[in-house]
Amino acid sequence: MKKHVFHLTLAAFVCGSLVFTSCNRNQESAAPAEEAVEDNNFSFGESEDAVGISEAILDDPANAGSLRESGETRTFTGLGGATITITPKGSNATGSVVIDFGTGVTYNGKTRKGKVLVTYTDRRRVSGAVRTVSFDNYFVNDNKVEGAKTVTFSSDISAESLVFNAAINSSLKVTTAAGRTILWNSQRTRIYDTKGTEQLADDEVTLSGTANGTNRKGVTFDAAITTPLVIKVSCVPNSGWLPTSGVLEITPAGVAKRTVNYGNGNCDRTVTVTVGERTFEVVAR
């Protein structure tokens, strides 16, 4: 149970990591096109959230028997009240998981409606195994999420250090409750390092990759992790699921690049933002 709980909690980091309260209210240079920053973060959060939901089922040891080729289709209730149906791959190329939130289920702090659809080619974390996640009339807090994402495991778990990699490609469309549209595409790599122990507190994740999209006001943007982001589980009690180090750059069309520096490994919520020639500290909330 330990590892899939970690994946779920990681989604909390991306959902809130770029919502800032400025430590200097006079920094007017931070104002233009902040929707690009917020919408990249929002889409990143929904992307990670979808991965977390799928991993909550696929990586739960309690469901291992249902995922085997020889297993039978199983339907049960989980994730706060969703109806979950697992169909093993059998002689087919893939198996499937349907997570049906119906007309509304509150899970992990969000109200969800509709279905998350998952296919898988092999058991978890096998080199070359592929999972795809898509959506059927799926809403999160009245924001409609469409599109698909693919997770490809690129290395087996090392018995010595329990380090493994996964590549995640995403293409999402989010229609907000107010009727605005966000488009977001991303290619990311995650390196999981469990430090070879069963203790959650020493785990670390390193993230790298790029994204691009269009925010809810029609402004295009590019985003890139220029120095890998590192999340330390041991820092969660003090700073939540924020990176403890690394640099993220977001460039909305027509305005200066925003560079977000998460620091040098300390467990705090203070980051440094540079816009043009101005640099200031902000507190993530």
Residues 6+ apart with CB under 8 A from 208: 188, 189, 225, 228, 229
Distance CA 254, CA 239 (A): 33
Q: What is the bridge-based pairing of β-strands 181-193 and 105-107?
A: unpaired
Q: Measuring CA to CA, which residue among 139, 127, 73, 61 is closest to residue 100? A: 139
Between residues 33 and 204, the one the model is more confident about: 204
Q: Are strands 270-275 and 278-284 parallel, antiparallel or unpaired?
A: antiparallel
The kind and range of the H/E element at 38 are helix 34-58
Domain count, the chain: 1
Q: Is the pLDDT of residue 31 over 70?
A: no
Rounded distance, CA 1 to CA 100, Å? 22
Label residue 6 by pLDDT band (50, 70, 90): very low
Give the domain range for residue 204: 2-284
What dihedral angle (degrees, nearest 10) is formed by the CA atoms of 49, 53, 55, 61?
150
Residue range 161-173: average pLDDT? 85
* 6-10, 71-75, 138-142: least confident range: 6-10
* Structural contact between residues 231 and 207, judged by C-beta atoms closer than 8 angstroms: yes
Q: Which residue has the higher pLDDT, 1 or 238?
A: 238
Is the Cβ–Cβ distance between 71 and 123 less than 8 Å? no
Give the model's pLDDT for residue 117: 97
25 CB-near residues (< 8 Å, 6+ apart): none
pLDDT in tens, 206-259: 989 999 999 888 889 999 999 999 988 788 777 766 788 999 998 988 888 989
Residue 30, pLDDT score: 43
pTM across the whole model: 0.78
Among 192, 146, 193, 153, which residue's Cα sits nearest to residue 170?
146
pLDDT at 14: 38
Lowest mean pLDDT among 26-30, 233-237, 258-262: 26-30
Query: In angstroms, rounded to a whole number, what is the distance separating the alpha carbons of residues 42 and 167?
Result: 20
